[in-house]
Structure 1
Amino acid sequence: MKSIVIAEIGAAHGVRGEVRVKAHTADPLAIADYGPLHDSRGTIFRIKSLRHLKDDMLVVSFEGLTDRTAAEKLNRIKLHVERSALPPPDEEEFYYADLIGLAVETTAGEAIGTVVAVVNFGADDLLDVRRPGRASVYVPFTRAVVPTLDFEAGKAIIEPPDGLLDDPGEPDGEDAS
Protein backbone atom coordinates (compact mmCIF):
# COMPACT_ATOMS: atom_id res chain seq x y z
CA MET A 1 0.00 0.00 0.00
CA LYS A 2 1.28 3.44 -0.98
CA SER A 3 1.56 6.12 1.69
CA ILE A 4 1.77 9.87 1.22
CA VAL A 5 3.62 12.40 3.36
CA ILE A 6 1.09 15.02 4.49
CA ALA A 7 3.08 16.78 7.22
CA GLU A 8 6.44 17.06 8.95
CA ILE A 9 7.10 17.50 12.65
CA GLY A 10 9.28 20.45 13.56
CA ALA A 11 10.55 21.86 16.82
CA ALA A 12 9.04 21.28 20.24
CA HIS A 13 6.57 23.95 21.29
CA GLY A 14 6.40 24.68 25.01
CA VAL A 15 7.09 22.21 27.81
CA ARG A 16 4.03 19.93 27.68
CA GLY A 17 4.98 17.84 24.66
CA GLU A 18 3.44 19.90 21.89
CA VAL A 19 5.26 20.15 18.56
CA ARG A 20 5.14 22.40 15.56
CA VAL A 21 3.93 20.57 12.48
CA LYS A 22 4.22 21.83 8.90
CA ALA A 23 1.20 20.61 6.94
CA HIS A 24 1.41 19.73 3.24
CA THR A 25 -2.36 19.79 2.76
CA ALA A 26 -4.41 22.58 1.16
CA ASP A 27 -6.13 23.11 4.51
CA PRO A 28 -3.48 22.64 7.22
CA LEU A 29 -6.04 21.54 9.81
CA ALA A 30 -7.11 18.71 7.48
CA ILE A 31 -4.22 16.52 8.69
CA ALA A 32 -6.58 15.45 11.48
CA ASP A 33 -9.21 14.25 8.98
CA TYR A 34 -7.38 11.17 7.70
CA GLY A 35 -7.17 9.06 10.83
CA PRO A 36 -3.93 8.11 12.56
CA LEU A 37 -0.71 9.26 10.95
CA HIS A 38 2.46 7.17 10.80
CA ASP A 39 6.15 7.64 10.14
CA SER A 40 8.31 5.66 7.71
CA ARG A 41 8.97 2.99 10.36
CA GLY A 42 5.27 2.46 11.09
CA THR A 43 5.08 4.35 14.41
CA ILE A 44 1.50 5.58 14.84
CA PHE A 45 0.77 9.20 15.76
CA ARG A 46 -2.74 10.02 17.00
CA ILE A 47 -3.63 13.69 17.16
CA LYS A 48 -5.07 14.72 20.52
CA SER A 49 -5.42 18.42 19.64
CA LEU A 50 -4.16 20.89 17.09
CA ARG A 51 -4.36 24.58 16.46
CA HIS A 52 -3.28 26.89 13.70
CA LEU A 53 -0.03 28.80 14.33
CA LYS A 54 0.59 30.58 10.99
CA ASP A 55 0.33 29.81 7.28
CA ASP A 56 0.83 26.03 6.98
CA MET A 57 2.24 25.65 10.52
CA LEU A 58 0.28 24.02 13.34
CA VAL A 59 0.84 23.30 17.01
CA VAL A 60 -0.07 19.67 17.63
CA SER A 61 -0.43 17.52 20.71
CA PHE A 62 -0.12 13.77 20.07
CA GLU A 63 -1.52 11.12 22.39
CA GLY A 64 1.18 9.86 24.77
CA LEU A 65 3.53 12.80 24.18
CA THR A 66 3.62 14.80 27.42
CA ASP A 67 7.02 16.47 27.79
CA ARG A 68 9.41 18.66 25.85
CA THR A 69 12.30 16.15 25.89
CA ALA A 70 10.21 13.51 24.10
CA ALA A 71 8.83 16.16 21.71
CA GLU A 72 12.35 17.30 20.75
CA LYS A 73 13.22 13.77 19.57
CA LEU A 74 10.46 13.93 16.92
CA ASN A 75 11.93 16.88 15.03
CA ARG A 76 12.06 16.24 11.22
CA ILE A 77 9.82 13.14 11.29
CA LYS A 78 7.60 13.00 8.23
CA LEU A 79 3.99 12.02 8.85
CA HIS A 80 2.24 9.75 6.35
CA VAL A 81 -1.27 8.54 5.58
CA GLU A 82 -2.27 5.68 3.33
CA ARG A 83 -3.06 6.86 -0.20
CA SER A 84 -6.49 5.20 0.12
CA ALA A 85 -7.38 7.53 3.04
CA LEU A 86 -7.23 10.58 0.79
CA PRO A 87 -10.11 11.73 -1.39
CA PRO A 88 -9.79 10.99 -5.09
CA PRO A 89 -8.21 13.89 -6.98
CA ASP A 90 -10.37 15.96 -9.31
CA GLU A 91 -10.06 15.57 -13.06
CA GLU A 92 -6.70 16.87 -14.30
CA GLU A 93 -5.34 16.59 -10.74
CA PHE A 94 -3.18 13.95 -9.07
CA TYR A 95 -1.08 13.35 -6.00
CA TYR A 96 2.69 13.53 -6.44
CA ALA A 97 2.89 10.05 -4.92
CA ASP A 98 0.99 8.80 -7.99
CA LEU A 99 4.00 9.81 -10.14
CA ILE A 100 6.33 7.41 -8.35
CA GLY A 101 6.83 4.31 -10.46
CA LEU A 102 5.72 5.84 -13.77
CA ALA A 103 7.81 4.77 -16.75
CA VAL A 104 9.39 7.76 -18.49
CA GLU A 105 9.77 7.95 -22.24
CA THR A 106 10.38 10.71 -24.75
CA THR A 107 7.77 11.97 -27.16
CA ALA A 108 9.74 10.00 -29.78
CA GLY A 109 9.08 6.78 -27.82
CA GLU A 110 12.58 6.31 -26.35
CA ALA A 111 12.46 4.61 -22.93
CA ILE A 112 14.33 6.73 -20.36
CA GLY A 113 13.70 5.19 -16.93
CA THR A 114 11.34 5.31 -13.97
CA VAL A 115 10.22 8.13 -11.66
CA VAL A 116 11.59 7.35 -8.19
CA ALA A 117 10.85 10.66 -6.44
CA VAL A 118 9.53 14.19 -6.83
CA VAL A 119 11.92 16.71 -5.29
CA ASN A 120 12.17 20.45 -4.91
CA PHE A 121 15.43 22.12 -3.95
CA GLY A 122 13.89 25.59 -3.66
CA ALA A 123 12.96 26.50 -7.22
CA ASP A 124 10.67 24.18 -9.19
CA ASP A 125 9.60 20.58 -8.76
CA LEU A 126 11.78 17.95 -10.43
CA LEU A 127 11.14 14.32 -11.30
CA ASP A 128 14.01 12.12 -10.15
CA VAL A 129 14.26 9.58 -12.97
CA ARG A 130 16.36 6.45 -12.45
CA ARG A 131 17.87 5.24 -15.73
CA PRO A 132 19.04 1.63 -15.97
CA GLY A 133 22.82 1.45 -16.33
CA ARG A 134 23.19 5.24 -16.45
CA ALA A 135 23.19 8.19 -14.09
CA SER A 136 19.81 9.29 -12.76
CA VAL A 137 18.50 12.58 -14.10
CA TYR A 138 16.32 15.36 -12.70
CA VAL A 139 13.59 16.26 -15.17
CA PRO A 140 11.97 19.69 -14.70
CA PHE A 141 8.33 19.03 -13.85
CA THR A 142 6.76 21.59 -16.16
CA ARG A 143 4.07 21.21 -18.81
CA ALA A 144 6.66 22.07 -21.50
CA VAL A 145 9.04 19.28 -20.45
CA VAL A 146 6.41 16.77 -19.24
CA PRO A 147 3.47 17.37 -21.59
CA THR A 148 1.73 14.05 -20.92
CA LEU A 149 0.97 12.02 -17.82
CA ASP A 150 -0.85 8.80 -18.69
CA PHE A 151 -1.68 7.13 -15.37
CA GLU A 152 -3.69 4.34 -17.04
CA ALA A 153 -0.68 3.36 -19.15
CA GLY A 154 1.74 4.07 -16.27
CA LYS A 155 3.80 6.57 -18.30
CA ALA A 156 5.15 10.09 -18.18
CA ILE A 157 6.01 11.38 -21.64
CA ILE A 158 8.79 13.99 -21.73
CA GLU A 159 10.17 16.45 -24.27
CA PRO A 160 13.70 16.75 -22.84
CA PRO A 161 15.58 20.02 -23.32
CA ASP A 162 18.88 19.72 -25.19
CA GLY A 163 21.56 18.09 -23.04
CA LEU A 164 19.21 16.90 -20.29
CA LEU A 165 19.79 13.22 -20.98
CA ASP A 166 23.53 13.50 -21.61
CA ASP A 167 25.65 11.64 -19.07
CA PRO A 168 28.20 13.72 -17.12
CA GLY A 169 31.48 13.80 -18.96
CA GLU A 170 29.83 12.86 -22.26
CA PRO A 171 31.33 14.83 -25.14
CA ASP A 172 28.97 17.50 -26.41
CA GLY A 173 30.20 17.29 -29.99
CA GLU A 174 32.31 20.45 -29.85
CA ASP A 175 36.04 20.36 -30.47
CA ALA A 176 37.80 20.88 -27.13
CA SER A 177 41.08 22.03 -28.66
Structure 2
Amino acid sequence: MTAPRLIQIGVIGAAHGVRGETRVKSFTEDPTSLGAYGPLSDAEGGRSFRIASLRPLKDDMLVVRFEGVATREAAEALNGVGLFARRDALPPTEAEDDFYHADLIGLSVETLSGEAVGKIVSVQNFGADDLLEIRLTGRARSVLLPFTRAAVPVVDVAGGRVVVDPPEGALDEAAEESRGTSR
Protein backbone atom coordinates (compact mmCIF):
# COMPACT_ATOMS: atom_id res chain seq x y z
CA MET A 1 0.00 0.00 0.00
CA THR A 2 1.38 3.40 -0.93
CA ALA A 3 1.44 6.32 1.49
CA PRO A 4 -1.31 8.90 0.95
CA ARG A 5 -0.37 12.07 -0.88
CA LEU A 6 -0.03 14.94 1.52
CA ILE A 7 -0.79 18.58 0.70
CA GLN A 8 0.54 21.42 2.85
CA ILE A 9 -2.36 23.53 4.07
CA GLY A 10 -0.64 25.58 6.77
CA VAL A 11 2.39 26.18 8.92
CA ILE A 12 2.68 26.55 12.67
CA GLY A 13 4.17 29.81 13.86
CA ALA A 14 5.05 31.26 17.23
CA ALA A 15 3.40 30.36 20.50
CA HIS A 16 0.41 32.53 21.42
CA GLY A 17 0.04 33.07 25.15
CA VAL A 18 1.09 30.68 27.88
CA ARG A 19 -1.51 27.89 27.60
CA GLY A 20 -0.21 26.01 24.56
CA GLU A 21 -1.89 27.93 21.76
CA THR A 22 0.01 28.63 18.54
CA ARG A 23 -0.31 31.00 15.65
CA VAL A 24 -0.94 29.16 12.40
CA LYS A 25 -0.76 30.57 8.88
CA SER A 26 -3.45 28.88 6.82
CA PHE A 27 -3.00 28.26 3.09
CA THR A 28 -6.66 27.35 2.59
CA GLU A 29 -9.10 29.63 0.78
CA ASP A 30 -11.15 29.93 3.98
CA PRO A 31 -8.53 29.98 6.76
CA THR A 32 -10.97 28.66 9.37
CA SER A 33 -11.57 25.52 7.30
CA LEU A 34 -8.16 24.27 8.44
CA GLY A 35 -9.90 22.08 10.98
CA ALA A 36 -12.23 20.49 8.42
CA TYR A 37 -9.71 18.10 6.89
CA GLY A 38 -9.38 15.61 9.73
CA PRO A 39 -6.15 15.00 11.58
CA LEU A 40 -3.23 16.88 10.09
CA SER A 41 0.36 15.66 9.97
CA ASP A 42 3.88 16.89 9.46
CA ALA A 43 5.61 16.55 6.06
CA GLU A 44 6.72 12.97 6.70
CA GLY A 45 3.34 11.92 8.04
CA GLY A 46 4.96 10.78 11.29
CA ARG A 47 3.38 13.28 13.67
CA SER A 48 -0.35 13.78 13.90
CA PHE A 49 -2.02 17.05 14.92
CA ARG A 50 -5.63 17.21 16.02
CA ILE A 51 -7.13 20.68 16.36
CA ALA A 52 -8.88 21.17 19.70
CA SER A 53 -9.92 24.74 18.90
CA LEU A 54 -9.17 27.54 16.50
CA ARG A 55 -10.15 31.15 16.03
CA PRO A 56 -9.27 33.79 13.47
CA LEU A 57 -6.51 36.22 14.38
CA LYS A 58 -6.05 38.32 11.21
CA ASP A 59 -6.36 37.61 7.49
CA ASP A 60 -4.93 34.10 7.00
CA MET A 61 -3.62 33.80 10.57
CA LEU A 62 -5.35 31.69 13.21
CA VAL A 63 -4.85 30.93 16.88
CA VAL A 64 -4.91 27.16 17.22
CA ARG A 65 -4.85 24.82 20.20
CA PHE A 66 -3.71 21.30 19.33
CA GLU A 67 -4.71 18.33 21.45
CA GLY A 68 -1.86 17.37 23.79
CA VAL A 69 -0.15 20.79 23.63
CA ALA A 70 -0.79 22.51 26.96
CA THR A 71 2.23 24.73 27.63
CA ARG A 72 3.96 27.62 25.93
CA GLU A 73 7.14 25.54 25.75
CA ALA A 74 5.34 22.71 23.92
CA ALA A 75 3.79 25.25 21.53
CA GLU A 76 7.17 26.91 20.89
CA ALA A 77 8.65 23.52 19.97
CA LEU A 78 6.20 23.33 17.04
CA ASN A 79 7.24 26.66 15.47
CA GLY A 80 7.92 26.15 11.76
CA VAL A 81 6.26 22.74 11.43
CA GLY A 82 4.22 22.44 8.25
CA LEU A 83 0.67 21.13 8.52
CA PHE A 84 -0.39 18.63 5.88
CA ALA A 85 -3.72 17.07 4.96
CA ARG A 86 -4.33 13.95 2.94
CA ARG A 87 -5.06 14.86 -0.69
CA ASP A 88 -8.22 12.74 -0.62
CA ALA A 89 -9.53 14.82 2.32
CA LEU A 90 -9.55 18.03 0.26
CA PRO A 91 -12.67 19.05 -1.63
CA PRO A 92 -12.74 18.84 -5.42
CA THR A 93 -11.93 22.04 -7.25
CA GLU A 94 -15.00 24.03 -8.21
CA ALA A 95 -14.06 25.45 -11.60
CA GLU A 96 -12.78 23.61 -14.64
CA ASP A 97 -9.58 25.67 -14.70
CA ASP A 98 -8.80 25.43 -10.95
CA PHE A 99 -6.11 22.99 -9.88
CA TYR A 100 -4.30 22.03 -6.73
CA HIS A 101 -0.61 22.69 -7.28
CA ALA A 102 0.15 19.19 -6.02
CA ASP A 103 -1.98 17.69 -8.81
CA LEU A 104 0.18 19.44 -11.42
CA ILE A 105 3.52 18.25 -10.06
CA GLY A 106 4.76 15.23 -11.96
CA LEU A 107 2.62 15.81 -15.06
CA SER A 108 4.35 15.29 -18.41
CA VAL A 109 4.76 18.39 -20.56
CA GLU A 110 4.49 18.41 -24.34
CA THR A 111 4.24 21.04 -27.05
CA LEU A 112 1.23 21.62 -29.30
CA SER A 113 2.92 19.38 -31.90
CA GLY A 114 3.29 16.54 -29.38
CA GLU A 115 7.02 16.92 -28.73
CA ALA A 116 8.01 15.84 -25.20
CA VAL A 117 9.39 18.76 -23.17
CA GLY A 118 9.76 17.38 -19.64
CA LYS A 119 7.88 17.13 -16.35
CA ILE A 120 6.45 19.70 -13.94
CA VAL A 121 8.57 19.68 -10.77
CA SER A 122 7.01 22.61 -8.91
CA VAL A 123 4.62 25.52 -9.11
CA GLN A 124 6.14 28.84 -8.08
CA ASN A 125 4.59 32.21 -7.36
CA PHE A 126 6.80 35.22 -6.70
CA GLY A 127 3.94 37.66 -6.22
CA ALA A 128 2.36 37.87 -9.64
CA ASP A 129 1.01 34.78 -11.40
CA ASP A 130 1.81 31.10 -10.99
CA LEU A 131 4.80 29.73 -12.89
CA LEU A 132 5.33 26.09 -13.80
CA GLU A 133 8.86 24.85 -13.20
CA ILE A 134 9.52 22.25 -15.88
CA ARG A 135 12.49 19.89 -15.70
CA LEU A 136 13.53 19.44 -19.32
CA THR A 137 13.77 15.89 -20.64
CA GLY A 138 17.35 14.62 -20.57
CA ARG A 139 18.69 17.76 -18.86
CA ALA A 140 19.43 18.78 -15.32
CA ARG A 141 18.11 22.26 -16.07
CA SER A 142 14.58 23.48 -15.65
CA VAL A 143 12.63 26.38 -17.12
CA LEU A 144 9.79 28.50 -15.79
CA LEU A 145 6.70 29.03 -17.92
CA PRO A 146 3.73 31.22 -17.00
CA PHE A 147 0.72 29.16 -15.95
CA THR A 148 -1.72 31.00 -18.16
CA ARG A 149 -4.27 29.68 -20.64
CA ALA A 150 -2.16 31.12 -23.49
CA ALA A 151 1.05 29.35 -22.44
CA VAL A 152 -0.64 26.19 -21.11
CA PRO A 153 -3.78 25.65 -23.21
CA VAL A 154 -4.38 22.04 -22.10
CA VAL A 155 -4.25 20.65 -18.58
CA ASP A 156 -5.21 16.97 -18.48
CA VAL A 157 -4.66 15.86 -14.88
CA ALA A 158 -6.43 12.53 -15.44
CA GLY A 159 -4.27 11.89 -18.52
CA GLY A 160 -1.10 12.93 -16.68
CA ARG A 161 -0.07 15.69 -19.06
CA VAL A 162 -0.15 19.36 -19.96
CA VAL A 163 0.29 20.87 -23.39
CA VAL A 164 2.31 24.07 -23.62
CA ASP A 165 2.59 26.82 -26.18
CA PRO A 166 5.63 28.57 -24.68
CA PRO A 167 6.55 32.15 -25.45
CA GLU A 168 8.97 32.35 -28.35
CA GLY A 169 12.48 31.38 -27.29
CA ALA A 170 11.54 30.06 -23.85
CA LEU A 171 12.71 26.55 -24.69
CA ASP A 172 15.31 27.55 -27.33
CA GLU A 173 17.54 29.20 -24.73
CA ALA A 174 17.52 26.01 -22.69
CA ALA A 175 18.46 23.98 -25.78
CA GLU A 176 21.33 26.36 -26.60
CA GLU A 177 22.60 26.20 -23.03
CA SER A 178 22.58 22.40 -23.08
CA ARG A 179 24.73 22.43 -26.27
CA GLY A 180 27.23 24.75 -24.59
CA THR A 181 26.58 27.73 -26.81
CA SER A 182 25.85 31.21 -25.59
CA ARG A 183 24.74 34.51 -27.00
Same fold (TM over 0.5): yes
Paired residue for 1:131? 136
Moved more, 116-125 or 76-85: 116-125
* Residue of structure 2 equivalent to 1:66: 70
Deviant stretches of 4+, over 6 Å: none
Counterpart of 1:175?
Answer: none
- For 1:125, the aligned partner's letter is D
- Residue 75 of structure 1, aligned match among 79, 83, 108: 79
What code does the residue aligned with 1:107 have? L
Query: Aligned equivalents of 1:137 and 1:71: distance in 2?
Result: 40
Match of 2:147 among 141, 147, 157: 141
Question: 1-side partners of 2:182 and 2:101: how far apart?
Answer: 34
**TM-score, normalising length: structure 1:** 0.89
Deviates more, 1:97-106 or 1:161-170: 161-170
Deviation at 1:160, TM superposition (A): 1.0
SS at match of 2:102: helix
Q: 1:126 to 1:170 in 2, by over 3 A?
A: farther
> Is 2:16 the counterpart of 1:5?
no
* Matches of 1:171 and 1:162, distance apart in 2: 17
Give the equivalent residue in structure 2 for 1:164. Answer: 170
Residue 170 of structure 1: CA displacement?
A: 4.0
Query: Structure 2 regions of 5+ residues with no counterpart?
Result: none
Which sections of structure 1, spanning at least 5 residues, go unmatched? 173-177
Equivalent position SS for 1:84: helix
Aligned partners of 1:56, 1:170: CA distance in 2, in Å? 47
Give the superposition deviation at 1:13: 1.2
Over 3 Å counting, the alpha-carbon distance change for 1:123 and 1:76 in structure 2 is farther
TM-score with structure 2 setting the length = 0.86
State the alpha-carbon separation in 2 of the partners of residues 170 and 88 from structure 1: 46
Which residue of the partner structure matches residue 31 of structure 1? 34
> 1:127-158: per-residue Cα shift (whole Å, max 9, x none)?
12122332011221122211110123211111
In the alignment, which residue of structure 1 is the partner of 2:101?
Answer: 96
Alignment of 1:104-119 (within 5 A): 104-119=109-124
Same amino acid, percent of matched pairs: 57
Is 1:41 the counterpart of 2:52? The answer is no
C-alpha distance in structure 2 between counterparts of 1:14 and 1:7, whole Å: 20
How many pairs are equivalent? Answer: 172
CA distance in 2, matches of 1:142, 1:164: 14
Which residue matches 2:56? Answer: 52
Q: Secondary structure at the match of 2:73?
A: helix
Bigger helix share = 2
Match of 1:14 in 2: 17
